[in-house]
């Protein structure tokens, strides 16, 4: 049956993604013909409908850069000072198509063990050496993976200055060598790198201080991401979360100065007078910055935030894998029901909605989009990547990444209590838990898998584009059925040994 009839029959029921199934539709095209281009706000588009959750074990500048390169959008969390959050935004905006603006550096007085640790922790094999060890200090040398080894105890305990290459032996480019009309040109840097047969090319200013680092790997990557999410200046798009409190005004000012493209008012209960006023003030003071409001789960709340001026609506309450809001507070809603109702209201205003949470497998992404979402926001499915800031751990030879709810005891202690409006309470009852997720490797290998799965699902439903999927579902051309427990069992892996 069509979506409107289906959900009217289950009025009063809170349905999850696993409670529904779409019936396949007539298909006359291939998976390669499916496009995932979508609107994230009324004014911004993405090549992929993927947004990372603003959680402290999910999104900082590293993941935001990688996801934007792939065509999605990263939202920097605010469990940090406004100054540090603004710097995280600035790092993303300074990233220029293969130019590393904040390379990991060491000083000559660091040890080879320090270099090994950088390599182990971040995977970097080429390390610029600056006089004071800072990313923009006076360039002294370059240390590569060919310059040191701890195998057999070789170079153990030695200083970097004992193994680093003489500055005369490494290719170095001046800022003016690789610019044209004031714009950095990757092609010029690449030509120098190839001509000098270098592993990496440091770019320095007139005083010899390090500005950027260009590596062969990053040159190859920059050319490999034609669908990157870019602003009008060809810089990567990035968003930031802020609290729904007076302190947000100072934070917002710093984020705007750093170049943020999207502000998310980050609270578990966005249907409030505080958020309505913040949206109005934001649109008056910073009309060029897009605002994503939420979180909400009802049509009434959606209408209120759109009327206040929101450019997109974020949907979901208590349905994340590490969230216990529904169990603690008795408030929330099944995500399938919430997305359908909120999207139906937002559609009347031409405002996109973002389905936030409850996404644990690829089919959930397709279902969220089919129910009216333009994008999905994911936590655990990005926390599992190398670029996420969560701690790495190993158990039984398996690599895990630390992942925790923003209302878990640890996150509350670092500032997450603002999201749940309990920072001034004497007793704080956590609405989230800590956990771990199996590592999936790099964003650059994981996101294409997610995208391919969504395209396969949309092709089976006869939708070439997300907007087509919305139309097919709302018109009844794609029908929905309720899944019984038996159907869920039958649809999953079963009866094998």
Active site residue 329: no
Query: How many C-beta neighbours within 10 Å does residue 368 have?
Result: 31
The DSSP symbol for 219 reads: H
Question: Do the beta carbons of residue 434 and residue 404 sit within 8 Å?
Answer: yes
Sole residue written with tokens 């087509």? 468
Question: Do the beta carbons of residue 392 and residue 399 sit within 8 Å?
Answer: yes
Question: Do the beta carbons of residue 320 and residue 376 sit within 8 Å?
Answer: no
Active site residue 419: yes
Closest CA to 290 of 38, 74, 53, 44: 44
Angle between helices 61-70 and 443-460 (to 10 degrees): 40
DSSP H/E element including 66: helix 61-70
DSSP string, 385-427: BTTS-SPEEEETTEEEEEEE-TTSHHHHHHTGGGTTT-TT-SS
- Residue among 163, 251, 303, 323 flagged as catalytic: 323
DSSP lists the bridge partners of residue 212 as 203
- Residue among 163, 251, 404, 419 flagged as catalytic: 419
Query: How many C-beta neighbours within 10 Å does residue 69 have?
Result: 22
DSSP lists the bridge partners of residue 183 as 180
Catalytic residue annotation: 323, 419
């Amino acid at each position: 049956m069509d979506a409107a009839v289906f959900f009217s029959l289950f009025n009063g029921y809170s349905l999850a993604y696993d409670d529904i199934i779409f019936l396949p539709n007539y298909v006359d095209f291939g998976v390669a013909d499916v496009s995932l281009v979508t609107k994230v706000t009324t004014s911004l588009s993405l090549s992929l409908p993927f947004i990372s959750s603003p959680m402290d074990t999910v999104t900082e500048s590293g993941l935001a850069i990688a996801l934007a390169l792939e065509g999605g959008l990263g939202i920097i969390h605010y469990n940090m000072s406004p100054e540090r959050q603004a710097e995280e935004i600035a790092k993303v905006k300074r990233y220029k198509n293969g130019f590393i603006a904040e390379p990991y550096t060491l000083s000559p007085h660091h040890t080879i063990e320090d270099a090994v640790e950088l390599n182990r922790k971040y995977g970097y094999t080429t390390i610029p050496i600056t006089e004071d060890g800072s990313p923009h200090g006076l360039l002294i040398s370059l240390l590569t993976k060919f310059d040191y080894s701890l195998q057999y105890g070789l170079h153990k305990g030695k200083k970097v200055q004992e193994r680093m290459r003489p500055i005369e032996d490494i290719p170095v480019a001046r800022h003016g060598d690789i610019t044209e009309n004031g714009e950095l040109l990757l092609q010029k840097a690449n030509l120098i790198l190839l001509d000098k047969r270098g592993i990496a090319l440091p770019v320095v200013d007139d005083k010899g201080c390090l500005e950027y680092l260009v590596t062969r790997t990053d040159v190859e990557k920059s050319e490999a991401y034609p669908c990157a999410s870019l602003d009008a200046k060809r810089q990567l798009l990035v968003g930031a979360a802020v609290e729904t409190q007076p302190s947000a005004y100072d934070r917002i000012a710093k984020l705007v100065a750093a170049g943020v493209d999207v502000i998310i008012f980050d609270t578990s209960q966005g249907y409030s007078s505080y958020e309505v006023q913040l949206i109005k003030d934001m649109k008056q003071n910073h009309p060029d910055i897009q605002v994503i409001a939420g979180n909400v789960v009802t049509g009434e709340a959606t209408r209120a935030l759109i009327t206040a001026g929101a450019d997109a609506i974020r949907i979901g309450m208590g349905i994340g894998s590490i969230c216990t809001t529904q169990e603690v507070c008795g408030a929330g809603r099944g995500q399938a029901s919430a997305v359908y109702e909120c999207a139906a209201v937002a559609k009347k205003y031409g405002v996109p909605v973002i389905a936030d949470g409850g996404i644990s497998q690829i089919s959930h992404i397709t279902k969220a989009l089919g129910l009216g979402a333009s994008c999905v926001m994911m936590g655990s499915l990005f926390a599992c990547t190398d670029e996420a800031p969560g701690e790495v751990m190993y158990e039984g030879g398996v690599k895990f990444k630390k992942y925790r709810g923003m209302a878990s005891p640890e996150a509350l202690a670092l500032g997450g209590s603002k999201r749940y409006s309990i920072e001034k309470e004497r007793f704080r009852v956590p609405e989230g838990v800590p956990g771990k997720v199996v590592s999936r490797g790099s964003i650059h290998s994981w996101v294409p898998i997610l995208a391919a799965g969504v395209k396969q699902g949309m092709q089976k439903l006869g939708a070439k584009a997300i907007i087509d999927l919305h139309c097919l579902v709302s018109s009844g051309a794609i029908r929905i059925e309720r899944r019984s427990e038996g159907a869920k069992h039958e649809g999953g892996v079963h009866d094998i040994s």
